[in-house]
Structure 1
Amino acid sequence: MIAAWLLVAHIAVLGYWLGSEFVINSTYRYVSYSGAMPFAERARLMDHVMEVDQHVRYALVLQASLGPAIAALYGYIPGGEAAAIGFGLFGALWFAFVELVHRLRHRPVGRTLGAIDRGSRYVLMAVLVAIAAGLVGGAWPMPPWLRWKLALFACVMLCGVGIRLALIAHFRTWAVMAREGPTEETNAIIRRTYVRATSILLLLWAFIAAITVLSIWKPA
């Protein structure tokens, strides 16, 4: 029964994740293509984008915690109920840390916390790939479709890294605009950055769609 409820939550979080992504992308597009809008208003909307972006981080933590807990309860990984509880506690601590990083992001310690947060995601991607390839847990009774799902989830996270790298140009240019005011050149950079980031986002959604298909189909 617990596994069934966690599975429902797992599916609900996927909807929460996608909904957050749609809001972020739609608002970011509006900001990027509203060059005639007063910059103060654009900056306010961009702050809203960054607030909503936090929900994507929440969804990542929830999915990365719920998935292993469900796998443990179904016997795909060892540990059973004890392991599921452990993943739940780990997820709660990670969730609290992500919230702390967000709240302290403008303080000196925020840069250090942010680096730790990003580093932890690289570690998680490496672990996911290792499990998917059988380098870790090769003897676990984990079906191939689930290993493929883990590999695709690592791809989703990699896309998130790609989006962040694509947005470096945005934040650099945005800082210039805040100091000197927007120009045709800086507005063009913001628009190009939106297109690049959205292209990677579309790939991310494709990976999520593939995960959904695997979860329903469960091929042998």
Structure 2
Amino acid sequence: MIVAWLLAAHIAVLGYWLGSEFVINSTYRYVSYSDRMPFEERSRLMEHVMHVDQHVRYALVLQASLGPAIAALYGYIPGGEATAIGFGIFGAFWFGFVELVHRLRHSRIGKTLGAIDRTSRYVLMAVLLGVATGLIGGAWDMPQWLRWKLALFACVMMCGVGIRLALIAHFRTWAIMAREGPTDETNAIIKRTYVRATSVLLLLWVFITAITVVSIWKPM
């Protein structure tokens, strides 16, 4: 019974994730192309984008906790119920840490916490790829479709890193606009950055679609 509830939550979180991505992208596009809007208003909306972006982080934590818990209960990874509970506790602490990073992001310690958060995601990507290729848990009774799903999930996370890298130009330019006011040149940079980030986001959606297909099809 508990597995059925966890599976339902696993599916619901995917919808939550995609919905958040659509809202973020739509609002970010509005901010990027609102040249005539007073910068103070654009800045306020951009801050709202950063708040909504937190929901994507929540979804990542939830999926990275629910997935292994379900796999443990199905016997795909060792430990059974104890492992599932362990991932639940881990997910709760990780969720709290992500929220702390968000709330303290403008402080000095927040920058340090942010660096730790980013590093932990690189570690998670490496672990996912390790399990997907069999370098980790090669002897586990894990079906091949699930290993493919983990590899695709790592690709989704890599796209998230790509979006962050694409947005570096945005934040640098936005800081200049805050100090000196927007110009045609800086507005053009913001628009180009939106296009680059959205291109990576489209790839992320492709990988999420692939995860859904693999989960339903379950190719061996």
Q: TM-score, normalised by structure 1?
A: 1.00
* Superposition map of 1:5-44 within 5 A: 5-44=5-44
Amino acid at match of 2:136: V
Amino acid at match of 1:65: S
Paired residue secondary structure (1:212): helix
- The residue that corresponds to 2:126 in the other structure is 126
Deviations 1:131-180 (A, max 9, x none): 00000000100000000000000000000000000000000000000000
- The residue that corresponds to 2:204 in the other structure is 204
Cα distance in structure 1, aligned partners of 2:201 and 2:176 = 25
Paired residue secondary structure (1:88): helix
Show structure 1 runs of 4+ deviating over 4 A: none
| CA apart distance, 1:66 | 0.1
- The residue that corresponds to 1:89 in the other structure is 89
| Structure 2: unaligned runs, 5 residues or longer | none
Paired residue secondary structure (2:77): coil
Paired residue secondary structure (1:117): helix
Amino acid at match of 2:102: H
Cα distance in structure 2, aligned partners of 1:4 and 1:80 = 15
Cα distance in structure 2, aligned partners of 1:219 and 1:154 = 19
Cα distance in structure 2, aligned partners of 1:103 and 1:42 = 21
- The residue that corresponds to 2:188 in the other structure is 188
- The residue that corresponds to 2:150 in the other structure is 150
Q: What root-mean-square deviation, in Å, do the aligned CA atoms of Structure 1 and Structure 2 show? A: 0.3
Paired residue secondary structure (1:142): coil
Among the aligned pairs, what percent are the same residue? Answer: 85
Amino acid at match of 2:124: L
| CA apart distance, 1:36 | 0.6
Deviations 1:2-22 (A, max 9, x none): 011000000000000000000
Paired residue secondary structure (1:48): helix
Q: How many residues end up aligned between the 2 structures?
A: 220
| CA apart distance, 1:219 | 1.1
- The residue that corresponds to 1:135 in the other structure is 135
- The residue that corresponds to 1:104 in the other structure is 104
- The residue that corresponds to 2:50 in the other structure is 50
Deviations 1:98-130 (A, max 9, x none): 000000001110110000000000000000000
Amino acid at match of 1:24: I
Cα distance in structure 2, aligned partners of 1:41 and 1:4 = 45
